[in-house]
Amino acid sequence: MLRSGVVCHDRYRFHVGRDMHFYSCISPDCASPPQLFSRLEEWKSHMDREHSRGWLQDVHTPIRWHCQACEGEDQWFEEEEAIEMHIEQMHPEYSKGPELEAWKETFEVKAPRPAYTCPVCNSIPDKLAAILKPDAEGRPTAVATNDESLRNELLKHIAQHLKEIGLVSIHFLYDADEDAASSRASAANNINSLPAGRWLDGNLVPPVPSYLDEEYHDEWRL
């Protein structure tokens, strides 16, 4: 039994590694159709080739808002709700409908995320944080180490996110299949519970609906 379990586990790992395309391109440019890969190296090659080696900092660039209507003040906002509240309170003439959206777009500032920051969880992986030192402006900087090895560590971290998301998605697919099967069974039961119709001159006359007043039953049957 133990040997059988080991064989099944090995086959499952082989199946997951060979057939499951967990590594997806996370650039919006490849959203339709999605670009999926079963091998980590294929995914890394695609990301660097199609989206340049700077994609780690540029993809899904974080958005901040800088209020340019506040003269003499340097007002920055990290959250969309915060800039909306600021406009509503300080610039109410721009706080309604299309004008609000237009001003938010005007205030948008996109800047590359800090180096070695994961674009999925928006944090620096623990393995990297332990060996990075902040520079004078607080940005993480590699100290006496191979920058390429740090990059590869970050890529493996991102790939692990994608694999975990893929594995979780399988459970959702199974749940969806079960829900669909349950709905089909329920529909079949509902159909089977309906009163039978009758044949008249070669045509199937459906049963009298339950909501129809009794005085109209004879007309329905004609």
Structure confidence by residue, pLDDT tens digits, 166-209:
887 766 555 545 555 555 555 445 434 444 444 445 444 455 55
Residue 146 backbone phi and psi in degrees, to 5:
-80, 115
> pLDDT value at position 183?
54
Average per-residue pLDDT for the chain = 75
Say if residues 159 and 118 touch (Cβ distance below 8 Å).
no
Angle between helices 40-51 and 147-193 (to 10 degrees): 110
Which pLDDT score, from 0 to 100, does residue 152 have?
Answer: 93
Phi and psi (nearest 5°) for 141? -135, 135
pLDDT in tens, the chain (222 residues): 444 444 455 665 666 666 678 899 999 999 889 999 989 999 999 999 999 999 999 898 888 899 888 887 888 888 889 999 999 999 888 888 888 888 888 899 887 888 889 999 988 898 888 887 766 566 666 554 568 888 999 999 999 999 888 887 766 555 545 555 555 555 445 434 444 444 445 444 455 555 455 555 554 444
Rounded Cα gap, residues 64 and 182, in angstroms:
46
* pLDDT value for 12: 58
Distance CA 43, CA 29 (A): 15
What tokens does 203 get?
A: 């045509």
What does the pLDDT read at residue 10?
A: 64
Q: How far is CA 7 from the centre of its chain?
A: 34
What does the pLDDT read at residue 141? 63
The Cα–Cα gap between 59 and 55 comes to 5
pLDDT confidence of residue 194: 40
Give me the pLDDT at residue 211, please.
47
